[in-house]
Every structure is written in C-alpha cells, then in structure tokens.
Structure 1
C-alpha cells in the first residue's frame, strides 16, 4: 500500500514537474513575446511621437498662417485708405496711388504673403499687390490671374478657410477669402483674397529637422493634396486612397498606423487641424525604424535564453514544495467569486435602467422575485420615491475630464448618494444617462422629514470631494411598478427648470407639475417689436433693460415654453442683425447656429442674459466704429471743399450742406463735434491763412487780395484781418515782408 502511495506520489511529482517546466517555458515565452513586441512598439511609438511633434509644428505653422492672414485681412478691411478700393465708385488718381502704396506696404512687410487681391463689386475691378507682378488694378475679366474669377465663384461662401490653387504663373498658393456683404443685384460680393506662398510652408516644415527618408503629405478634409510631395501631385484627389480614407475616417485628431506603399512598409503618422480642416501625414520607412531595433533585439534574445537555462533548476525546487495545488484551486475560486459579483452588479444595473426607461418591463411578480433574491433593495409593492441627480455645466465637465474619468466620477456620485440615503432606508442607484444618476428608495416617516437635508448633504459631499455641482429633482411618489417609468420621465422634464434656479438647486417635481398645469404668462409680440426697434436705432442699453424685463416675466413659465420664446427672440434678432448689416455695409459678430449652440449650453438665466448683453455690446462697438469712420470721411470731404472753394464769396454752411446732401443744422453739429470748430470759423481761418500768404509772397494790392480770398467788401476784410492778427493788412506786410 505504501509502495503504491509512493508510486502515485512520484507520478504526481513528475506530472507536476513537467507542468511546472511547461508552465515556466510557456510563461517565459509569453512574457518575452509581449516584451519583444512592446520594445518594438515602443520604438515605433517613440518615432511616431517625434513625428507627431514635427506634424504639430507644421500644423501650428498652418494655423499661424491662417491667423496671420485673418489679422492682415481685417487690418486691410478696416483700413480707411485701402477700404476705398472696395467701396469707391470711381478712382481718384492720388487716392488710388495712396491706397495701392498702402496695400503694397502690407504685402512687402509680410514674408509669407505672395499677393493680395481686393475685388470691388461696384466697379468690377480687382486691385492687387504682388511680390511678383507689382501692384495696380484691372477689370476682373482682364485680370492677369485667370484662376481668380473661378476661385471667387467656387469659394464665395467660404470665410477664411484656406484653399490651395495654382495661379496663372504656375505657383502654388494658399488663398484666404474674406467676403463682405453684397446686394442682391451684384454678381459677386466685395472681397479680399490673401494668397500665401506654399513655398513658405514647405520651407517651414523642411526646417524642423525630419529624417532624410521622411515625407510629409498634407491633405484637406476632402482628401485633396495641398503640398508638393513625392507621394502624389499637388491638388490630386486621394479620397479613394486606402491610407487617406483611413485617416479621414478616424475619430481622433492624431495617431499612427502601419501601411504599405509600393511594396514597402511605412509608418504613417498623422494629425489634424480643426481650424483649417487639413490633415498632416508623415511617412517613415519601416526599415529605417527596424535598423535602430537590431541591437536591442539581440539583447532581448540573450536575456531570454539565459533566464530559461537558469529557470530549470528553479522549477525543480518549486515543484518539491507544490505537491497539492491548493493555492491554484483557491485562486480559481476567488476569481469565480469576483466574476459572479461583477456579473450580478451589471445585471442589476441593466434591470434598473430598463425599469425606468421602458414602461413596465417587468411584472410585479418578477420584481418580487428579484427582491427575494436580494437583487433589489427597493420594494415596488410599497410606496417609493426617486431622486434624479444631474451634473451642472455638463459641457465644461466633458471638456475637463476624459470619458473614463467621467464614468468613474458618476460611479462615485452613485456611491455617495447610496451611502447618505442608506442611513435611513435601503436605496438603489443607476446611471440613467450621460450626466444623470437616479436613486430609488422606499418612503418612510423618518425619510419624509429628513429628505431635503439628506439631499443637501449629497450636494455638499459631491462639491467637497469631487469639486462638482449637482442639481437634484425630488420626484413624485409611486405605488406600483408601472409608475416607475412615468415618474422618471416627469423628473427629467422637471429638472430642466434648474435653469431658473441656478446650479446646485433642488427641484420638486410636484411643484413643477402644478406650475405646468397652471399655465403661464402670454408672450407679447409687441414687446419683441419694441426690442427690435431699439436695436435698429442703436439704443442697446434700453434693449438690455427691455430684454431683462421680458425674461423676468417668463421665470414662472415652464422650461419648454421658455425655450420656445427664447428661440423666437433669437430668430427675430437674427433678422434684425441682417437688416443692420445691409443698411450699414458691415458684418456684425453673430452666427445664428453658433449662438443657438451657446444658448443650449447656458446653465442659468443670468448666463443667458450675459450672452445676449455681450452680443449687444459687440454690435454697439461695431456700429459706433462704422459711424465714426463715416463721420471722419465726411469731415475730410468738407475740409477739402473749403480748401478748394475758399475764393468763392458764396461759400457758406448752407452751400456746403447742399453739396454733401445734409441739412445745415445736422452738418453744423457734426463738424463742431468732430473738429471743435464751426464751419464759418474754419472758412474764415482758411481765408486769413491764404491772405497772409499773398501779403508776404506777392505785391498785389490789399483790395485785390481781399477779392482773391473771397471778400468783396475790403473794409470787412480789414476788420476781420485786424481781429485775427491785431494789426491791419498793410502793417502786417510792412512788418513781416521786410524780415
């Protein structure tokens, strides 16, 4: 018997030894294979990381090019001298030379700008300044850059999105188009096009320091090549190329992968620029990467065989101590237990989610069975209630944390809520949507008196531990399982009213339901018309006050009705802004879709009002700037008239008002405001200056000089001259002509 036992023992030992050796060798192999792959991937990752830095620098250069072009275009657009090229009906030789010289100075002072084209829809002319072709202006049909007209047609709706093109002299440039507003009777709108030399961008990314075999490929969002490279010709359409298709379909902005090109394996590293919509691709031959990995591969294999040789005696020693695999059996049991608990939690969360989202997914008997199996801590055959918790300013929350961290934080909110409510009664929680956690619990007399303090404690704990603000909706009570879905839907609608209460509030669904049933104050279109009229006449402070009153009257309304009214106000505001832009020939800082998106991200009434107020302030500043520019131009025109016609005895405020088509009273106020002097004083001062010049530089009689400067009555001229200089004209000539 003993011999048999020893035989079994020896056989088991041999089997265990073989198993241990096999386990060791397999484990060692499985360990070194990932290690080998890891080292290989680390080198690839290191190379791709360096490539990403290179591409990021190239992307930054493109974004810098775009921002710089945008800045230059805005400077050109708001430059009163260059602006004449856009809006003048005809060209004055001196003004045109000054404008073109100013434009030329912009082009010459900026290294990367190849040329600037300014198209005036009123004249049909293109004013240009080019480092290659000089400056001047031509009619658009005769313009030397024949591709310009086609480009203007194709990209008229674009606003400072770079698009590559080949000019008539076979140069690759990146063009930026700044269109202005236009009337319906014009074929094209006024526009400024800035052309940036592609050679500048090529020199930029070549100077960053790539490997000799590396190749940079730049494509736009449509898969069109926009730079000179060896992979494909410039402006070639690669949207069918498998490598480009993969890059364009990736959801992340940067990454890398391996691909084949002409039978050779390549490391493809890419990044994208949201600003321009371009993707930057760097191709590195895989053979170059493996060359740096050869020595490291030899070291890894040497270590592998050394450990294998040393591991055999170690396996013999370990096997002697492992006659019975209790630890293995125990580990398997623990692993099974962990899996069971994990599956149990996931199953319970799925059932809770289905219970709330879908009407009556379980019968009462099924729920009682789940309760009996200790899966639910809540009884649905007894009165129960619900809390719906939502993270405030969810858009900022998503920007601050990646998706994995967001899931972990939501799980922490569940645990905090269950722990605090669990002080009084058993509770269940489930993450119901991206920013919502739902709590279910049975009602007790103690909970009814302590529920609000417990909710505040949850909010304070979340704020302290997670640095987050949460709003909570206390839902209405339920009595059967069929009520759960309806209670949840009502809570979702009610918590939207946190918009009026602000972040970190407590909303009671019963109050919001009563408010919705009671109705709301009617929207008054007349006040909307009054708001539009105030904006049209530039009374923005009054418009702010009126808008505040309109929104204040809607605070007692339900959120759905409030959001409809805000949309109506925004639509009317959009129409008003379009009228202002057309009337004043400018572009105001407003995009309807972007503004609506901002409204949807607002968390309170105060934030919403501030959004509208900032828009009003920006509109006021733009309109004031336009008005000031217009007034300055008008004053310069009046001064030019006086300098030209001072000899005319009939020159007066009224005659000048007729020339500029303004009323004399309005012209008097405007000139006084802008210059600090009246028109009559300015005419008199101009005539006196000309009189002193004639007295000192000519031998004309004083009576003749009086006539030449616009005074028929020489006595009146004597009086005015003495009043201005303190001496008579004869004394002035005698005193200063000799000196």
Structure 2
C-alpha cells in the first residue's frame, strides 16, 4: 500500500540520508585534498633536491675551472720568458718567440682554454695565443677583440679571477663571434694604482655551460646563472625569451634569499618550479626552471579521479535517499507530525494560561490562597512555590523607545528570548517562573535557597549579572534589573511588586545596565523635601545673562538634591524645571528678536520617554547651548554689518583729508577703541592701513590713466602734503609717483 506524504516531510527525510552522504563525500574530498597537498609538497621537494644536486655539481666544476685558470695565471707570472713580455717595453725577438711558445704550450695543455692574452700597457703589442682567431703579436689597432681593451681600461671594476662573460669577433674578416668567460689577472702596484701588466685567460662558454640547461630526469627544464648583481650570465635559451632580468620578480625573489631554496612562480606566463642554489665563492647562483604542470601531472590525474568519484557517490546518494524516503519513512512521518501537533497545541495553551495567571497575581487581579495556588500549580505546571521564601526580579529593556521603533514587529519574539535566557540561567540555582508584563518589563519569580548568611543574595547577584551579559551578547539588548528582598508571605506579592517597580525607576540615576536592590531605595516621605527656589532663581539669572556654564552647574546641583528621595520627587522637580526653563528660553529668544523654534525638546512628554538623568541633562544642556549659539551668531552678524559699514565709508570718503579712525567713530556715534578692536579681530587689519591701501590704489589708477600733476593727485586722494604722499607711495611700491608714471608709459601692459 502506497502512502501519500507531503513534499515538506519527504524533504525532511531526504535531508536525514543526505547528511550521511554529504559527510562521506566531504570526508573523501578533504582527505584526498590533504593527501594531494602532502604528495605535491613531497614531489616538489624531490625535484628541488635533484635540481640542487645537479646545479651544485655544475657550480663545483665552474669553481674548479676558475681555480685552474688562477693556477695557470700564477704559473705564467712566474715564467721567466712570459714575464719579459709583461714588464719589458720592447723584448727582443728571442724572448718573444720563447714566450709565445710557452703560451701555446699552456694553451694546448688545457683544451677548455680558447685564448690567452699577455698585456703590457707600455708595449705597442698585445701577445695572443689562440686556437681560433687572431694569434701572435697584435697592435692595439689590429686587435679585433676591442672589448678586452675596454675591460683593461676599467680594470678596477672587476675582481681578479671572477669570470667575466663576453662576446667578441674571432677575426676581422669574419662575422663569427665567440662567447667566452674571461679571467683577468693584473698587476696594479704603485702610488697611482695604474695597470702595470695583465694576463687574460678566455675559456669558452661551452665548457662552463655544458651542464647548464640539462633537464632533471624526464622533466623539461631551463637553467641559468645569475651573478651577484642579479644579471643573467648564460642559459640554455636566449635571455630575451625568458625576460629574466635583474628587475624581474623571479630574480628579486631569488636575490632576497641568502641560501638555496625553491618556490612556485610564473615564468614565461607559465606556473613553474624555480630551484636555486646559494651563492658560491664566485657569488654566482645557478637556477633551474621547470614547468609546474609537468611535475604534478600524475597528481592532477589522481585529484580529478577523486572528484569524479565523489560526484558519482553524491548523485547516486541523492537518488537512493529520495527513493528510500518514500518507502521507509512515510508511516513514521505521519506519527511524528501528529505528536508534534498535539504537543505544540498543549504547550501553547498552557503557556498562555500560565502567563495570564502570573500576570494577574502580580497586578492583584487574582486572589492568592493556598488551595487556589495548589490547584493552579498542578493544572498549569507551575514550578514556583508560593508557600516558600521567594523573590521578585524585574527585568527592564534599556533604551526601550529606540528599540521599539526598530523591532516593533518582533518585540514579542525578543521578550520570549529574554524570558528563556533568564529562566535557563537562573534555574541553575533556583526554581524559576517568568512572565511578560508588557512594554519593556519581564518578571522572574524565584524561590530562594536555604543558604546561611547572604550566600543566597550573592549567588542571585552573580546569576543576574550573567543574565545581563548573555542577553547583551546574544540579543544585543541592555537590561536593567531590580530584585526584591526575601518574603515568605504570598499576600506580600502585590506590594512587593509595586516596590520593585518603583525602585526600578532609580535607573534614572544609576544608568543603563544597572543592578538595583529595592530594599536599598527606601527613602523618607516626600514632605521632607523642599524645592530650592533660590537656586531656581540663580539658574534663571544665569541663563538670562548668557552664563551657560554656570546655568549647567546650578541645574546639576538641583537634580542631585533629589537623589535621596522617592522618584516622585525627581519627577515633580523635573516637571517644574521644564516649565520654568521653557519660559525663560522663550523670553530670551523673544527679547533678542531670535526665531523661536516651533517644536522644542524641553517638553514633559519628550522628557518622559528618557530613561537616565544623563539623557535628560543632555537635552537641557543642548537647549542651553543652542540659545548661546544663536546669541553669538546674532552678535557676529552685528559685527559683520559694522565692518561692512566702515568699508563703505572708507571707499566713499577716501578723498576726504579728514578721513581717519576718529572721524569714522564720530560719524557712526561709536567708540574709536571699540571700532578699532572689532575691525582688527574680524579683518586682521587696522582701519588706518585700509585707508592708506585704498588711497594708494587710487593714486596708481590716476597716475596711469590721467596727466594730472602729482600735487593734484595727492589732493584728490586725501593728502594735503605732496611730500608726505611721495614718501608713502615709495614706501608701498618702491618707486616715486613720477617714476611709476614713466614706467607705465613705457610698458602700458605692466602692473606694479
């Protein structure tokens, strides 16, 4: 019999089987990946060790050949016949012949030497023993190998017996070139450090490079030599094709490493293994580059096969899980769904009834008797025992108004989460019931434990701090918590709850996230408090006088005086201050002809939504500062108008000889000292300087644009004394008015 099941339930059981399949496939892929990475590293290391051994052997051979060249050179220096060529300016023919025979003997005894030069800077000839190319005595003009002369001219730049890679022509009548490594040995003893003699041994690159470029095993690779500057000396392919320059990334990475090693990088656009040796005694490095894909070709095949196997297992598993879910789990699915439905309905019904009962008990809407409590506990599954010692704990969400605006649709979900977290933590030590009171409040009913001393309260405080921390970390919600003292009377539940609610209002003074013990906030009667009318008057006077900082201090003192009293004292004081200060600020704005804002934050409705005195204080202080800013802006505008008026008067009366600071002050009926100070503060200039500057500008215009005499011009711009005008003009522009006019006539386009 086929049972019809819903698509959602079938998906549930498909997931059950798929979890096993996915774990299997994931394990296979992860283990294969780990093996692949390990095998790849082992393989790379093996190739590197092989490359390193091969390159190191080449290095040893090059060093051995260098030592042979050095030994040969020393022998030639000690050879009596050859030394005559080096130190005699014109040796006789017999010495020359004997020396050339000795050089050819050395040349023939070492087949890897291509040529030997003996150089005496005082002699007209260069002595050459060569298997190919020029041979014998050659003048410097006849010498085809001009590059060697350049090397000798700059011999200080080369270290003795460090191979110098060169290319030169073998014969003047041939285009054939020879690639050699030149070993230079020279004598430069003397005060002037000049070259006295030199022996040059040229070794063909075929001997040094005979192992460079040979592949490692069956893997195609390329090998190269770098000197201590990162320059490529040789290789088995042209340098340009690899672009292995001293500035290339591969060269930089090799040169930054002091020893031998390897790394994977890009060479000629291909991922490659680059192996390199440490610098040898010649400060050379030997490099081998092998394409990465040739090294890991077999491993890549294994990885691809593993992926295909994993995909196959996954596809087959999907098909099998789908078929089995239809056959095996359909009956179980129906039973489980039915049980879940019944359990959910019962749980939701009991939870709602239990919440409603506990809420009515706190609010005094349900009578508290032993029989009723016993029956209700049994019926609704309430774990809390009203006959034992108990406490009430009130949890309140901090910054509730912003939180409500952001999460209004999900408020019940967050409240339910807070109840669950609180119950879970508190139940570690107590019997706990939770109830949602509405708005920002949740209450915990806690049965106390019989712990001597204050151990019960210490444990409670520890758990309540854990609740605050957990809710903050998980829900990003700050809680203020108030707890009551112990009570063993069920009838004390309602008054105890009211005291806890009243004590929780002291969050105003303690701030968000506080922990309040209600018994610590039992204050004297309200009648004991006397509102300080005198301080209120000082506050008003400070605001009217614009002394904002003093007003802030007086406000803080008035608020602090309400702390030792019930919260109603603070509320009434705040209400009175709100009305008084609103009227004062309205009067200040009106008296100064400032715009009065349509909506003010200093309203009892707005302040009632705030939770701490710091927030309320910030609103008051912001209003104080706003008034101060408006008054300062108005004062600044008045000063701007004054500056503008002074500038207009200077421009209009610039030609008036009486124009000065005192004249302007008389005209606008103000103090000259005040005018001078305000003008200097706002323009960074004095009134006198501005008057003189404007007169000088007008003098320049009249000198360029008119033929008036200098005395007339001085009179027009306000100077009654022509000599004084001359001095002022030259002081400002460095020339006299007459010279300035001449310059303007000669160069009409030039401006002083």
- TM-score when scaled to structure 2? 0.48
Larger of the two Rg values belongs to structure = 2
